[in-house]
Amino acid sequence: METSTEGVAQPADADAAQADPPSAAEPTTTAAPATAERPTTTPGAAAGAPAATASPEAEAQPGAETKPEAEAPRPVAIPPASLSPSRAGDFMQCPLLYRFRVIDRLPEKPSEAATRGTLVHAVLERLFDAPAAERTAPRAKSLVPGQWGRLRETRPEVVDLFADDPEGERLARWLGEAEQLVERWFTLEDPTRLEPVERELFVEAVLDSGLKLRGIIDRVDVAPTGEVRIVDYKTGKAPRPEYAEGALFQMKFYALVVWRLKNVVPRRLQLVYLGSGDVLTYDPVLADLERVERKLHALWEAIREATETGDWRPRPTKLCGWCDHQAHCPEFGGTPPPYPLPVRGAGQDPVGGPGLVPRAEQAVPVRAAESGGAPQGRMGPD
């Protein structure tokens, strides 16, 4: 990890919803490289593609909805078995959205914003394949067309984004915006001074309670002294200061997984906002990770309760405008699909099992992380 002189950037006064929403402390200890077995992937696959070992609950297949009479068989529903930052964020934002994505696995159309995020992540990952001296902005921008081609091969559905653009003008503008985001990164970090230990690192840990946590970390840097820095790229704008805590939830989630895997508390968590040119950093301590663990236990208990009772309530926010599932949402006059899992009868005790946390451990109330503006992120599970 290079010695950072960036400090904690002041977020721009722009709304930015966190794809993975919602603990202050001083720097901590020395760390060893954070490593975990990377899932098997097809060589050359675009960054952001689903990890081969990712659990089925995260793999909602994008695509246009079909009419009921022509509807293909729905995938077999399985109860949630693990938690990622994105799915935790879904539940805190709207429990019904979590159900649609994880249990019903309703199809979702790709968006330009999420696809652009995937493309930019792929370019920044691939740039580190080049020798340090060749990691320049022109070279990075030159990777954009090739990575877009790979993305179209691995995610054919993204081609439909520009189906109504026969002259290619909108596509050219969209690719130009991706190039601008890539170029802005060079004003925030110097890749010639970085040698990441890991890129697009899949991590998974099982807590003592049985709850499985998983995710994909964009970059892991390790200093010569052994200190670990976890870095995540965001293609949107930095949140306003009042939303910074929610933005850090995803990073503390990753830090918790690294701590449980390696018994190492990362020295620094860093969010790089390419949309606004800001860098948000935070130095966690053990107490932070313990608080996040308690919060996740409480969150998982709420998910378990909703799974067993079938009670998934919508939580309207400004983000509803970007939701693909309004046709199924009662808030918009829609009807959810028939619930595909068994429902616990009234008065029955909950069924125990792996990953189910005793009610006594509900130490932290579950509350949706608030944010303003449009969602940002990339395609695929984390």
Least confident of 9-23, 144-158, 314-328: 9-23
Amino acid letter for position 50: P
Running DSSP on this structure, what letter comes out for residue 83?
A: B
Least confident of 201-205, 245-249, 260-264: 245-249
Q: Degrees (nearest 5) of the Cα angle 299, 355, 55?
A: 90
pLDDT in tens, 80-116: 999 999 999 999 999 999 999 999 999 999 999 999 9
Output the average pLDDT for the chain: 79
Stretch (H or E) spanning 268: strand 268-273
User: What is residue 19's predicted lDDT score, i.e. its pLDDT?
Assistant: 35
User: What is residue 247's predicted lDDT score, i.e. its pLDDT?
Assistant: 87
- The answer to whether 206 touches 82, Cβ cutoff 8 Å, is no
pLDDT in tens, 282-297: 999 999 999 999 999 9
User: What is residue 74's predicted lDDT score, i.e. its pLDDT?
Assistant: 64
pLDDT in tens, 269-282: 999 999 999 999 99
User: What is residue 314's predicted lDDT score, i.e. its pLDDT?
Assistant: 97
Least confident of 5-9, 213-217, 367-371: 5-9
For residue 354, the number of C-alpha atoms closer than 13 Å in the C-beta half-sphere is 10
User: What is residue 255's predicted lDDT score, i.e. its pLDDT?
Assistant: 98
Stretch (H or E) spanning 278: strand 278-282
Q: What would the mean pLDDT of 53-73 be, rounded to a whole number?
A: 41
The whole-angstrom separation of Cα 351 and Cα 348 is 9
**Which alpha helices (H) appear in the chain, and where do they start and end?**
85-93, 95-98, 112-127, 137-154, 169-185, 244-262, 286-309
